[in-house]
């Protein structure tokens, strides 16, 4: 971890971070890859808790089957773990647990009513396989996830609102509680960065995530030290230049109501680099 701190500090100071696609870092967004286009994302993610910090690398491969239909595969490399990892969802890179996940994105509605302005809606369905036997003392089963996001995008402002649910299947007598969540994202493109390529393109976002994890079942009994609710808000930034994207940001909790003696969350940080093929 000590060897990583200088790298993380440099990344934060230089703003060298990114999100998948042309959207936010933590929240849901509607954009999909163009037909025949591919992308590769690598992100470093940190979850700071009162009981310690988790750190992992995430990788995301995406491919556009059509302009409105995209598939993706997400994997990870854990660096540091915590006894009770946070269950969270959001953007394609925000599956914070150690899973291998396959995703399908379908932008089934798009209304281009002016040059550079559009209103659109995207559905996301995914399935994941755990890479560990237990998570927070609970045997981990496979999971299914579905989400819906809608919003407005232009050359100046962006607004996306969405939500979803992740269901974990039983593993023996154990089962992770389901996760309901919602996200709200507002973005702004400053006048200085509204020129076309080869001019740089930077966008600023305020993002929020509301999460409602259900109680876990351990040996057939509901765990009193699980489940609850939290609301997180924070700033993020996205930079685009040619085939590259860089973005990153931080979320901090403004509300936490966790059952039992669960560790409180202090912050979530993510830095990502994306390359479009």
Q: What is the per-residue pLDDT across 181-205, written as a single tens digit (0 to 9) for each?
A: 999 999 999 988 887 778 888 999 9
The per-residue pLDDT of the chain, averaged, comes to 88
Query: Tokens 């479009």 — which residue?
Result: 276
Dihedral angle computed from the Cα positions of residues 25, 28, 33 and 38, in that order, rounded to the nearest 10 degrees: 50
Q: Which two tokens stand for residue 52?
A: 């310690």
Closest CA to 172 of 225, 134, 126, 213: 134
Provide the 3-class DSSP secondary structure of residue 100: strand
Tell me: the pLDDT tens digits for 245-262?
A: 999 999 999 999 999 999
Residues composing the chain:
277
Q: Averaged over 201-223, what is the pLDDT?
A: 96
| Domains and their CATH numbers in the chain | 5-276 (2.40.160.40)
Tell me: the pLDDT tens digits for 5-41?
A: 433 333 333 333 333 446 799 999 999 999 999 999 9
Give me the phi and psi of 192, to 5 degrees please: -60, -25
Identify the pLDDT of residue 113: 81
72 or 90: which leads in pLDDT:
72
| Percentage of the residues of the chain whose pLDDT score is greater than 70 | 90
Residue 79, classified by CB atoms within 10 Å of its CB into exposed (0-12), middle (13-18) or buried (19+), is: middle
Distance CA 205, CA 238 (A): 8
């Amino acid at each position: 971890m000590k060897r990583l701190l200088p790298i993380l500090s440099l990344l934060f100071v230089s703003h060298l971070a990114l999100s998948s696609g042309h959207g936010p870092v933590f929240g849901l967004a509607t954009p999909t890859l163009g037909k025949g286009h591919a992308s590769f994302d690598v992100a470093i993610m940190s979850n700071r808790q009162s009981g310690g910090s988790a750190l992992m690398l995430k990788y995301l491969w995406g491919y556009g089957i059509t302009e409105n239909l995209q598939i993706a595969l997400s994997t990870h490399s854990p660096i540091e773990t915590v006894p009770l990892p946070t269950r969270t969802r959001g953007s394609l890179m925000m599956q914070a647990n150690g899973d291998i996940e396959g995703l399908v994105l379908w932008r089934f509605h798009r209304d281009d009513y002016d040059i550079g302005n559009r209103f659109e809606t995207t559905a996301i369905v995914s399935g994941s396989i755990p890479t560990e036997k237990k998570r927070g003392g609970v045997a981990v089963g496979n999971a299914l996830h579905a989400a819906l996001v809608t919003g407005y995008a232009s050359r100046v402002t962006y607004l996306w609102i969405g939500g979803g649910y992740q269901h974990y299947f039983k593993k023996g007598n154990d089962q992770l509680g389901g996760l309901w969540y919602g996200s709200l994202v507002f973005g702004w493109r400053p006048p200085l960065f509204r020129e076309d390529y080869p001019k740089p393109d930077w966008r600023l976002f305020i993002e929020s995530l509301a999460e409602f994890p259900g109680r876990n079942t351990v040996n057939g009994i509901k765990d009193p030290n699980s489940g609850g609710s939290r609301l997180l808000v924070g700033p993020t930034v996205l930079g685009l230049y040619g085939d590259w994207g860089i973005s990153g940001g931080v979320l901090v909790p403004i509300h936490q109501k966790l059952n039992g003696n669960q560790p409180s969350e202090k912050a979530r940080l993510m830095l990502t680099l994306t390359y479009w093929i």
